[in-house]
């Protein structure tokens, strides 16, 4: 039998579940932001799955940062208009 490789979606979900007690300790507004960060990471599952040299959480954090950078760029362009 072959080895089962978990998907990037599952890796992200597993990390989110592992941080459940951390999330519960946050204020309600911050819990919402926490969920938004993980939702942003899920937009980059293909990239997360290709980052085999990195620890899973490192690639998830990088995906979150990418989404934050995208939002900053969007807001900058709105300000420039």
- Running DSSP on this structure, what letter comes out for residue 73? H
Average pLDDT score over residue span 17-40: 97
Average pLDDT score over residue span 4-16: 90
Whether 51 maps to a domain, the answer reads yes
Whether 72 maps to a domain, the answer reads yes
Distances (CA, A) of 61 to 14, 28, 71: 14, 21, 15
Whether 1 maps to a domain, the answer reads no
Whether 3 maps to a domain, the answer reads no
Whether 23 maps to a domain, the answer reads yes
* Domain range enclosing 25: 8-80
Distance (Å, whole) CA 81 – CA 76:
9
Compute the CA torsion angle 10, 16, 17, 21 (nearest 10 deg). Answer: 170
pLDDT tens digits, one per residue of 30-71: 999 999 999 999 999 999 999 888 888 999 999 999 999 999
Residue 19, pLDDT above cutoff 90: yes
Whether 2 maps to a domain, the answer reads no
Q: What was the pLDDT predicted at 2?
A: 67
Q: What was the pLDDT predicted at 5?
A: 77
Compute the CA torsion angle 13, 19, 25, 31 (nearest 10 deg). Answer: -30
Whether 44 maps to a domain, the answer reads yes
Helix (H, G, I), strand (E, B) or coil at 13: helix
The total number of structural domains that make up the chain: 1
Q: What was the pLDDT predicted at 80?
A: 94
């Amino acid at each position: 039998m072959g080895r089962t490789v978990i998907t990037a979606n599952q890796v992200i979900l597993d990390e989110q579940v592992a941080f459940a007690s951390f999330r519960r300790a946050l204020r309600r507004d911050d819990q919402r932001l926490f969920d938004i960060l993980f939702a942003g990471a899920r937009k980059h599952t293909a990239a997360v799955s290709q980052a085999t040299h990195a620890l899973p959480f490192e690639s998830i954090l990088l995906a979150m940062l990418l989404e934050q950078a995208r939002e900053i760029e969007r807001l900058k362009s709105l300000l420039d208009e």
